[in-house]
Amino acid sequence: MSTTMSPPDPSLVEGLDEPLQALDPDGVRHEHELLDPHLTDVDETVLTDLFIDMSIVRRIDEEAVALQRQGELGLWPPLLGQEAAQIGMVRVLDDQDFLFTSYREHALAWCRGVRAEEMLSVWRGTTYSGWDPFERHMATPQIIIGAQTLHAAGYAMATRFAGGGEIAVACFGDGAMSQGDTNEAMVFAAAFGAPVLFFCQNNQYAISEPVSVQTPVPIALRPTGFGIPALRVDGNDVLAVRAATKIAAAHLRAGKGPMFIEAVTYRMGPHTTSDDPKRYRDEAEVEHWAGRCPLVRLGKHLEGIGAPMDSIRAEAKIRADEVARSLRAAITTMAPPPPQALFDHVYTTEDAGLQAQRRQWEQFEASLEPEAS
Amino acid sequence: MSTMTMTAALNAALRDELSADESVVLIGEDIGTLGGVFRVTDALQADFGPQRVIDAPLAEAGIIGTAVGMAYRGLRPVCEIQFDGFVYPGFDQLVAQVAKLHYRTRGRVRMPLTVRIPYGGGIGAVEHHSESPEAYFAHTAGLRVVTAASPQEAYQTLRAAIASDDPVIFFEPKGKYWTKGEVDRAATADLTTAATVLKGTDATLVAYGPMVATALDAAIAASDEGISLEVIDLRSISPIDRHTVASSVRRTGRLIVTHEAAGTASVASEVITGVIEDCFEHLEAAPERVTGYDTPYPPAALEEVFLPDLDRILDAVDRTLGRRNSRSHAPTEVEVSA
């Protein structure tokens, strides 16, 4: 076994000075040498579909916040502002590509066919798992920060060993960059050339801590220390994210090992409905990012290319309202699981001890029922 | 049948599972070319290739966490943690992910992982190389926790662990790695039952893993004094086979539990609680724990003080039988206050 090492390669990362961008905040498309070859399929139809996707998930998000305020959900982590990052990425993946995500990736779930009420059932507290991971090729949301990155790396290792063609995607935020699991996942992925896309949504905050607490250098620089090429893109530019993901996916599918995308975005809302971001960030900053809203940007671009925005907005509204209406109806009538479900699925086969506890509970419950008169 | 050491029996179990099931993969530190620091995986990488016997980067959370991802993709990973005291960096992945994924996903995602951990002391090792952390895992719903006392048990229990669709923590008594015994590779095991390894009538002595041999020695020594001990090898630490233990105590009326791990909030605590709940009225005396003390595992020069041994077990037998010759018969609280 040789002990040769690759020298550090500064060309491993693109976008360090300025995040890669195809659409500026006013929705004006600029030529980009790296991105443009991967955007040749983008036409008015593609842009319209992306706009409608983003409109619907924003509406789901708004409805979820309202449902939480009305006591129908225990908690909700809004994705407001991160629609372009998520939809730009997932819409160019294959259905077989497996997603291992954090808990704010509602747009990914939506694009994988998960119904809104299935997403919200977790936050209503009726289940830990709103959908079948194998049906959607998407693991259910991970709450331990960064833990899912290792699952993605292991999945991709198994894919590589099996000669499979699909890729795994690890989705996480800037806070997860400090977790050992995330860094170990990059070590493993690099060591085994695993086809995993590390997709970091840098939304600038881990609850209250600005990204500077996690790292003094741009996030996208760090994977290069693991030998993993990285792209730093404007995460509020759905086309930049789309192109970057295509570049990364092609790299992965060619067997060239893992890649990393840092999507620079902004969490426009609170960390969760329990959070009060006024305590740790000022209005000017929020205003600045409001001017970079990904949905507004895409709308302006569509207008700029002469798309019929009145009818596009009308269609988006009709579809989003219908999703929200159906979501509200499903959530407000969603029954809790039967109490004995507490005991289900601890193991694939239930042992005597747990069976005894189940029976004890059943007998106790039965004893509380009023006697027939 | 052939005679082999426990390491050879474990190696045979891994080899037979790798051969029988293509989804079985091994991952751990130094398990490939080196064959593991204890040689349990000797020659397996050469025979099955580096994609089925994987030399992992030096990161325990990474080993367990990537194994989770492999299990998602249909593999049946067997992780090696090099030493007991090295498992803690992987603790989150074990208790928050591996243990909970089946429950979290309402049975849709199975985690058929096995995590092999050499454990226990008495080998003169440096810090973090002699611990018995089984109680941490026994406390976690969703994990099975097993151990083995002999080459035969090691072989059949490891095979059963790998074949299980539930995650199994398999504790290997490293102090017994070089003991030899007959191994029948056709024998099978379950993962939930204890074994009565010696019948007796005067007291029930429960042990597992490295303490089973000591317990049997104690039973021989006790028999010289006319005391008949029944020795139970727990084998499964989670779940605990309460039926076998209680059935024995109903006959003997007395219970001693021994293990190397510290006694507070331990497997012994749980075994004794089970007996009190199941057959309190059959107890003739207070149950006894003979365990490591509630200290960190000490430097090697002190491990004989820490570890339960034959004399401490016999002393507990004397106590539970009310024999006056108990050397440690310390004054009780009542006597002190009187």
* pLDDT in the model for residue B203: 98
What's the pTM value of the predicted model, to 2 decimals? Answer: 0.96
C-alpha pair distances (Å), A257 with each of A229, B62, B248: 9, 17, 58
Closest partner residue to A348 (CB to CB) among B56, B106, B165 is: B165
Q: What distance in Å separates residue B303's CA from the closest CA in chain A?
A: 33
Contact criterion met (CB < 8 Å) for B66 and A150: yes
d(CA B310, CA B267): 19
- ipTM, two decimals, is 0.96
* pLDDT in the model for residue B331: 46
Q: Residue A123: exposed, middle, or buried by beta-carbon count in 10 A (0-12, 13-18, 19+)?
A: buried
Least-confidence region, from A149-158, B44-53, B315-324: B315-324
DSSP code for A138? B
With contact defined as beta carbons under 8 Å apart, do A224 and A12 qualify?
A: yes
Closest partner residue to B107 (CB to CB) among A153, A192, A345 is: A345
Q: Quick one: which of B71, B29, B100, B78 has its CA closest to A154?
A: B71
pLDDT tens column, B102-111? 999 999 999 9
Among B102, B128, B129, B243, the active-site one is: B129
Contact criterion met (CB < 8 Å) for A348 and B166: yes
Q: Residue B32: exposed, middle, or buried by beta-carbon count in 10 A (0-12, 13-18, 19+)?
A: buried
Q: Which of A346, A349, A357 to mutate to probe the B interface, most B CBs <10 Å?
A: A346
d(CA B261, CA B247): 25
Residue B303 Rama label (left phi>0; alpha psi -120 to 50; beta): alpha
Closest partner residue to A188 (CB to CB) among B57, B141, B240 is: B57
Partners of B97 on chain A (C-beta within 8 Å) are: 144, 147, 151
With contact defined as beta carbons under 8 Å apart, do B268 and B240 qualify?
A: no
d(CA A320, CA A86): 17
Hey, which residues of A are catalytic here? 267, 271, 280
Inform me whether the pLDDT recorded for A70 exceeds 90: yes
* pLDDT in the model for residue A19: 97
pLDDT tens column, B177-233? 999 999 999 999 999 999 999 999 999 999 999 999 999 999 999 999 999 999 999
* pLDDT in the model for residue B338: 44
Task: List Cβ neighbours of A115 (8 Å cut-off, separation of 6 or more).
Answer: A330
